[in-house]
């Protein structure tokens, strides 16, 4: 993995960002969308189409709704996660097999990738995390990647530089935080058995990180049932909802004595 961002810091600009820019961002509310939200009926139809042999049916269905004024953020935040939950409900009731669940999740991920440009470029950059870097990962060996993919899209939508990969090993993560300046490490967990391993890994990431004040965010499905997940992991904070993670991260960065959000020009 070859990464190229330098970790040089421009002290005066950095202090201006922490003292003035970030507080102004935090005091401003997100614009309310006037577009039509996706409904549970849409989620159910989306789920069924993702199980169809024609892999393009789901994308055509979604693009038609978006063309008629439906909200792409509602798609990412509600319709796609709900469709994924429906796969597991249908599997639990023996309506579909596990292979179908895997196929359906894969189709949802492909849909996210297909709509990535529209979603990311449609973000309100007035409330941007521009020049901020996030490493968003899941425990090595974990197979739950859809939530992390959606989270990475939200951060990119707000202007962050995101390092993320489905197959990051522990060594990959340690190498990334050592070679790159990272403001935020976000880790998505799905099972409580992952906690001991990730607690040790987070401690190592802090030791290796080129940013001594890096913030660590805990999240993922496990946070729904384990409210003290951040404490158990040794993380700085936790966030369950992808659309709120950006704001929580900015709040945490506001508290740190230094930030990389404004750097010297890259050469």
Report pLDDT digits (tens) over 81-111: 999 999 999 999 999 999 999 999 999 999 9
Domain boundaries, given as residue ranges, for the chain: 11-29+127-255, 40-121
The span from the CA of 198 to the CA of 244, in Å, is 23
Q: For the chain, give the mean pLDDT.
A: 84
pLDDT at 36: 93
Side by side, the strands of the sheet bearing 184-188 are 161-164, 133-137, 184-188, 215-219, 237-238
- Is pLDDT above 80 for 123? no
pLDDT at 259: 52
pLDDT at 255: 86
pLDDT category at 141 given cuts 50, 70, 90 is: confident
The span from the CA of 10 to the CA of 258, in Å, is 11
- Is pLDDT above 50 for 249? yes
CATH number of 11-29+127-255: 3.40.50.280
% of residues, the chain, pLDDT over 70: 81
How much is the average pLDDT of 110-126?
Answer: 86
- Is pLDDT above 50 for 256? yes
The span from the CA of 18 to the CA of 192, in Å, is 35
The span from the CA of 56 to the CA of 50, in Å, is 9
């Amino acid at each position: 993995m070859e990464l190229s961002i330098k970790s040089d810091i421009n002290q005066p600009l950095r202090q201006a960002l922490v003292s003035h820019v970030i507080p102004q961002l935090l005091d401003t509310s997100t614009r309310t969308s006037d577009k039509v939200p996706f409904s549970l009926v849409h989620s159910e139809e989306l789920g069924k189409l993702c199980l169809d042999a024609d892999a393009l049916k789901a994308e055509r269905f979604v693009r038609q709704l978006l063309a008629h004024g439906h909200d792409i953020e509602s798609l990412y935040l509600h319709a796609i996660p709900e469709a994924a939950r429906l796969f597991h409900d249908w599997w639990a009731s023996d309506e579909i097999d596990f292979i179908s669940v895997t196929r359906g999740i894969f189709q949802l991920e492909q849909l996210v990738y297909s709509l990535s440009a529209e979603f990311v470029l449609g973000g309100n950059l007035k409330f941007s995390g521009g020049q901020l870097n996030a490493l968003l990962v899941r425990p090595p060996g974990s197979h739950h990647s859809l939530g992390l993919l959606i989270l990475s899209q939200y951060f990119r939508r707000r202007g962050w530089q995101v390092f993320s990969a489905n197959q990051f090993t522990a060594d990959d993560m340690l190498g990334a935080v050592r070679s790159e300046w990272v403001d935020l490490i976000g880790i998505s967990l799905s099972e409580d058995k992952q906690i001991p391993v990730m607690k040790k890994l987070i401690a190592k990431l802090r030791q290796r990180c080129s940013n001594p004040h890096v913030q660590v965010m805990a999240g993922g499905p496990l946070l729904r049932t384990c409210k003290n997940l951040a404490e158990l992991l040794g993380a700085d904070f936790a966030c369950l909802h992808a659309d709120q993670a950006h704001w929580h991260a900015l709040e945490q960065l506001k508290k740190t004595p230094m930030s990389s959000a404004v750097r010297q020009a890259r050469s």
